[in-house]
Structure 1
Amino acid sequence: MASAARPVLSRLGSIRVVYVTAPSKEVALKIARYEWQGKLHEDSEVVLIMKTQDSLVEELHKVVIENHSYDVPAFVSLASDAESLPYAQWVLEQTGGNKSVAVGKDAESI
């Protein structure tokens, strides 16, 4: 588990998540090598995609930090430009709702 230090989120906006395809697992592993604590690593990881609402990103970050085994886990929040209304409603319901989001006649007319 990570340290008990207070989780801090950056809002610098300079990080990018890049989608890349590779012809094989071997090529992907070669491309994905990274340096950590002075050593070159070639590890496999599991990608976890979580859905939440903007107002809960900081709380989600805190939960991830408290439960993750990495010292520096990847945590990048990607905003949606658009989503289907039924899906957005479902995400809001699953994450406790949001009284500031107008769902109904006005939202459906967009």
Structure 2
Amino acid sequence: MRIGLPGAETLKGGSLKALVVTVLLSVFMFQLLRTVGLRAFSMASETYMSGTHSAAFVTCPNDTVAKDLARGIVERKLAACVNIIPAIKSVYEWQGKIEEDNEVLLMIKTRSSKVPALAEYVRSNHPYEVAEVISLPIDQGNPPYLKWIGEVVPE
């Protein structure tokens, strides 16, 4: 019994062409899958438990406070990333009056288990009497990004 590809002498004209085309397409498809498809496949095969990570939000009075808090949060591994979003306008009620202020927003990506420690850090280092710290669980996202958050922020 012979295993492998048939010899050219056993193939008739059309069969040889079909074999060559099949082999060439296979090589091309393998390269395509290697460069594009396997990456997409590996992203899809990663698993993520909904709510494991959270996006937290903190408002700050200015850019200096925002940068100081963001740096402290990341240095202490309370979050993997903090985005500083400038120039927001906040309208809120405080001590019976409607207030309007320019603020800076921090968008913080972390593990949900770190939110209490994050809130404590913000309360201890924020100039507001009552600092905003709210968080929302992340239901879905880009698996490699979510994996990165988990790698940067320890349990």
Bucket of the pairwise TM-score, normalised by the shorter protein: 0.5 to 0.7
Partners of 2:121 and 2:102 lie apart in 1 by 23
Unpaired stretches in structure 1, ≥5 consecutive residues: 1-16, 18-24, 99-110
Q: Does 1:44 align with 2:102?
A: yes
- The match for 2:91 among 13, 29, 33 is 33
Matches within 5 A, 1:4-83: 32-83=90-141
TM-score of the pair, normalised by structure 2: 0.40
TM-score of the pair, normalised by structure 1: 0.55
Partners of 1:66 and 1:77 lie apart in 2 by 18
> How far did residue 36 of structure 1 move?
1.5
| CA-based RMSD | 2.3
How many residues matched?
Answer: 70
Greater Rg by CA: 2
Higher relative contact order (CA 8 A, sep 6+): 1
Partners of 2:138 and 2:148 lie apart in 1 by 15
> How far did residue 39 of structure 1 move?
3.2
3-state SS of paired residue (1:50) = strand
Partners of 2:109 and 2:103 lie apart in 1 by 19
> How far did residue 41 of structure 1 move?
1.6
> How far did residue 82 of structure 1 move?
0.7
Unpaired stretches in structure 2, ≥5 consecutive residues: 1-56, 58-86
* Greater fraction of residues in helix: 2
Percent identical pairs in the alignment equals 40
3-state SS of paired residue (1:63) = helix
* Greater fraction of residues in strand: 2
Q: Deviations over 1:53-109 (max 9, x none)?
A: 01111111111111111111111111111121100111011112x5xxxxxxxxxxx
